[in-house]
Amino acid sequence: MSDSVHPAPERLPGPRVWIVGAGPGAPDLLTLRAARAIERAEVLVVTDSLVSPQIIALAPPGCECIRTSTLTLEELMALVVERAEAGLRVVRLHDGDPCLYGALAEQICCLADAGIGVEVVPGISAYQATAAALQTELTVPGLVQTIVLSRVGGRTGVPASESLARLAALRASLCLYLSARHVEEVQAELLQHYPAETPVAIGYRVSWPDQWLTVVPLSEMAQASRERALIRTTLYVVSPALAPPEQARSRLYSPSHRHLFRGGAPEDGPPDSSASAGRARSAATPAD
């Protein structure tokens, strides 16, 4: 196995920075690419409260560790640019996946302005870790086929077109980040759209040793959060898929669903094509 970090598709000349998703917490939920980047880091920049000490410990001896909890983004980026311009390999670690609520856009712009090439390494996001811990599919056929990842306004705000009311009206599997402080308003708004008994998973520090994870009816979401005094590192997953009907079954694996790799003609199309969907829907009954 090569020990090189996978090259970015396009490189700016000069030193490079790796922006790496550290996953939800458990060190063994790091990707191999993330682990390799950390193992080769000369400077590790990390929000210590959100990244496990065991992940930080993967950095080699002599690697400088910059902890960011008390820094502004400007201060942090000044340190990153300085180290990268000095020719050091800088790894900026983010919890979960960097593309979600990680100020990735600002960092990439700042590094591009400085002419520093960047590689982004994806990570497992909190919603994926939560679904896995619950052994749940968030896209159950015939029930829900859409996942929404969002947050409530708070200080950052969200565009009016993405108001919680509009998202809730979809009745999709709704994963809410950064929202525990506003759980009372969230519950009240969601109750306008989802039935009160809709299951809500509440995950605190999912995949960490002190993980707390429960599923309650929507009408008890705020009370359950209050009882645990949840404020941060909490994810809500509101979804009918957390209590799917017994007959829910993927058409893709149904004996009656033919496709290219299982006795089907190419014109059968993908599993979602309307012709095959109609056939398979009638097959996806308890009689299967």
Ligand X SMILES: C[S@@+](CC[C@H](N)C(=O)[O-])C[C@H]1O[C@@H](n2cnc3c(N)ncnc32)[C@H](O)[C@@H]1O
Contact residues toward ligand X (CB under 6 A) are: 24-25, 94-97, 100-102, 125-126, 177-178, 203-207, 232-235
Question: Which parts of 82-138 are beta strand (E)?
Answer: 90-94, 117-121
Instruction: Kindly tell me which of 5 and 149 has the beta carbon lying closer to ligand X.
Output: 149
> What is 204-273 written as a DSSP string?
ESTTSTT-EEEEEEGGGHHHHHHHTT--SSEEEEE-GGGS--TT---GGG-TT--BTTBB--GGG-STTS
Q: Least distance in Å: CB of 162 to ligand X?
A: 16
Instruction: Kindly tell me which of 225 and 234 has the beta carbon lying closer to ligand X.
Output: 234
Q: Least distance in Å: CB of 215 to ligand X?
A: 14
Q: Least distance in Å: CB of 198 to ligand X?
A: 19
Name the β-bridge partners of 177: 151
Q: If you search the block for the tokens 């520090």, which residue do you land on?
A: 205
Q: Least distance in Å: CB of 93 to ligand X?
A: 11
Measured between alpha carbons, how far is 219 from 71 in angstroms, rounded to an integer?
39
Q: Least distance in Å: CB of 231 to ligand X?
A: 9
* Residue with the shortest CB distance to ligand X: 96
90 Cβ contact partners less than 8 Å away, ≥ 6 residues apart: 15, 17, 18, 41, 42, 43, 45, 80, 83, 84
Instruction: Kindly tell me which of 114 and 121 has the beta carbon lying closer to ligand X.
Output: 121
Instruction: Kindly tell me which of 125 and 173 has the beta carbon lying closer to ligand X.
Output: 125
Instruction: Kindly tell me which of 232 and 281 has the beta carbon lying closer to ligand X.
Output: 232
Helix (H, G, I), strand (E, B) or coil at 19: strand
